[in-house]
Amino acid sequence: MTEADVAAVIIMAAGAGTRMKSVRPKVLHEVAGRSMIAHAIKAANALAPDRLAVVIGHEREQVQQHLAEFAPHVLIAVQEQPLGTGDAVRAGLSVLPDISGEIVVTSGDVPLLKGETLRRLVASHRQTGSAVTVLTAVVPDATGYGRIIRAGDQVAAIIEHRDADQAQLEINEINSGIYVFDADLLRAGVDALTTANAQGELYLPGVVAFARQRGLGVNGYVLTDYLQAEGVNDRIELAARNAELNRRILRHWMAEGVTVVDPKTTWIHADVDLAADVTLKPGTSLEGATSVASGAVIGPDTTLIDVEVAENAEVVRTHAVLSVIGAGASVGPFAYLRPGTQVGERAKIGAFVEAKNAQLGAGAKVPHLTYCGDAIIGEGSNIGAGTIFANYDGVTKSVTRVGAHSFVGSDSVLVAPLTIADGAYVAAGSVVTRDVGAGELAVARGQQRNVAGWVDRRRSGTAAQEAAKEAARTRDNTDGENQ
């Protein structure tokens, strides 16, 4: 299917969304990690419209700011008062003067709707030569929706739930709130709308009756995958749409060759990219613009937000944000990668390690219990258990560089700014404040002193003294036998 290319799309997104009970406008709530308005714009883009208008009203500064970030090309139309969907389209038309041809009208709160569906809708509109085509669906529970009144193969009218009589309420073909209109008809139809209905609003579906009165064709295109047409009016529906979209995203990736061990506890955002032969273990959440390459194994219990994972890496029980994990690298269990972390090829970040703005060269290892902040670690180096990269002096943050094939002993504190050169060693337990040259050993800790007879003098009568005496007796006897 290659057609489409419509004159304009109007996305209605000015409703108050009262039932969300939120300070955020409804269309900014996210489904699969993407705002509902972003889903609507993505679907609309599949029509390659000459113009795309978004009608905003309620909390419009927030929506406008959001749109400026990712869709600066859209035209903003302001609806001052939410007087109904007919009035929303009137506002939309005000930024689309002199447009003729097809105008698609859709809603900002229908996140599962696919661009492909809009293309089919437009194709049906063209095939039937209609003035209006309504996207309809047959649903198990039509409560709240506008009902489709058929007259043969035509749509005669759309009656809102609140205005419907008993017989009309039994109809389970509903209006999805998505339409194609001839532009001239839409302008005339919207101007003729009145508020003579239960809600005292200007109802966009009134344009259907307007078209029929003029003897124009109104086509109802039935969407069999009715879940795509379901909207979001409250948080319960938000959770339901989110769960359904996640199911669809998981099905898509499984079909592409991703193993999902437990679909019930795996969440993948809409903008994530996965290769074939990725394995996702239970409790994995892949968010934002995360990408995972072939052969990588993620989870269990792992959250990756805007993380790039290369081939065959393994990431176990980890929380990572804005980081890059190299091919064959190993991260976790219980690792925390903060923004700016880059784990080189075959490098390792082990248990209870927190990294921030840290670069590990190929094969470098930070295996246990370490804070690794503002660090650049060369290839093949090993950072001992319990090392702290002390990057903050209370005022500024500084960087520590560790060269290639160097070794930092356990329980060291590396006080930045600091450079440890290639092939250098740091003795365990050191607090290193001065640079260490290539091939040098830095020892920066108190000298050990063993005080003979201390327990006898200061801990007399204790089990320790007994044990020490027993050890001395054994030693003397053994010495005797050896003689």
Minimal distance in Å, beta carbon 18 to Ca ion?
11
Cis peptide before 111 (omega within 30 of 0): no
Q: Is 328 in the site for ligand UD1 (CB under 6 A)?
A: no
Q: List all residues 6 or more positions away from 187 whose beta carbon is below 8 Å from its beta carbon.
A: 93
Minimal distance in Å, beta carbon 238 to ligand UD1?
13
Tell me whether residue 174 or residue 372 sits nearer to ligand UD1 (CB atom).
Answer: 174
Minimal distance in Å, beta carbon 171 to ligand UD1?
12
**Which stretches within 319-416 are classed as H helix?**
none
| Secondary structure letter of residue 446 according to DSSP | P
Tell me whether residue 149 or residue 331 sits nearer to ligand UD1 (CB atom).
Answer: 149
Binding-site member from 4, 13, 415, 442 for ligand UD1 (CB under 6 A): 13
The entry of Ca ion, ligand UD1, none that residue 176 binds, CB within 5 to 8 Å by partner kind: ligand UD1
Tell me whether residue 186 or residue 426 sits nearer to ligand UD1 (CB atom).
Answer: 186
Element of type H or E holding 394: none
Q: Smallest Cα–Cα separation from 120: which of 230, 218, 217, 221?
A: 221
Tell me whether residue 160 or residue 354 sits nearer to ligand UD1 (CB atom).
Answer: 160
Q: Identify how many contiguous H helices and E strands the chain contains and give both numbers.
A: 10, 39
Distance between CA atoms of residues 45 and 118, nearest Å: 10
Tell me whether residue 176 or residue 342 sits nearer to ligand UD1 (CB atom).
Answer: 176
Single-letter amino acid, residue 118: L
Single-letter amino acid, residue 268: I
Could you confirm whether 125 is annotated as catalytic?
A: no
Single-letter amino acid, residue 319: H
Q: Give the angle subtended at the CA of 353 by the CAs of 350 and 356, to the nearest 5°.
A: 125
Single-letter amino acid, residue 467: A
Quick one: which segment of 8-16, 164-172, 250-258, 431-439 binds ligand UD1 (CB under 6 A)? Answer: 8-16
The entry of ligand UD1, Ca ion, none that residue 145 binds, CB within 5 to 8 Å by partner kind: ligand UD1
Distance between CA atoms of residues 278 and 253, nearest Å: 10
Minimal distance in Å, beta carbon 50 to ligand UD1?
22
The entry of ligand UD1, Ca ion, none that residue 142 binds, CB within 5 to 8 Å by partner kind: none
The residue ranges that bind Ca ion (CB under 5 A) are 231
Where in 97-136 is the site for ligand UD1 (CB under 6 A)?
107-109
Quick one: which segment of 84-92, 111-119, 273-281, 447-455 binds ligand UD1 (CB under 6 A)? Answer: 84-92
Query: Active site residue: 39, 66, 161, 368, which one?
Result: 368
Q: List all residues 6 or more positions away from 390 whose beta carbon is below 8 Å from its beta carbon.
A: 413, 414, 415, 416
Binding-site member from 35, 85, 130, 430 for ligand UD1 (CB under 6 A): 85
Minimal distance in Å, beta carbon 179 to ligand UD1?
10
Measured from each CB, the residue nearest to Ca ion is 231
Exposed e or buried b for every residue in 73-84, given b needs 16+ CB within 10 A? Answer: ebeebebeebbb
Q: Smallest Cα–Cα separation from 203: which of 79, 80, 83, 55?
A: 83
Single-letter amino acid, residue 251: R
* Interface pattern 180-219 for ligand UD1 (x via CB under 6 A): -----------------------xxx--------------
Q: Is residue 116 classed as helix, strand or coil in its secondary structure? A: helix
Q: Smallest Cα–Cα separation from 178: which of 403, 9, 53, 364?
A: 9
Q: Is 231 in the site for ligand UD1 (CB under 6 A)?
A: yes
Binding-site member from 137, 174, 315, 321 for ligand UD1 (CB under 6 A): 174
Q: Is 220 in the site for ligand UD1 (CB under 6 A)?
A: no
Answer yes or no: are the C-beta atoms of 245 and 270 closer than 8 Å: yes
Q: Is 12 in the site for ligand UD1 (CB under 6 A)?
A: yes
- Two structure tokens written together for 87: 């009035």
Q: Is 41 in the site for ligand UD1 (CB under 6 A)?
A: no
* Residues found near ligand UD1 in the complex (CB under 6 A): 12-15, 55, 79, 82-85, 87-88, 107-109, 145-146, 158, 160, 174-177, 203-205, 231
Residues that are catalytic: 368
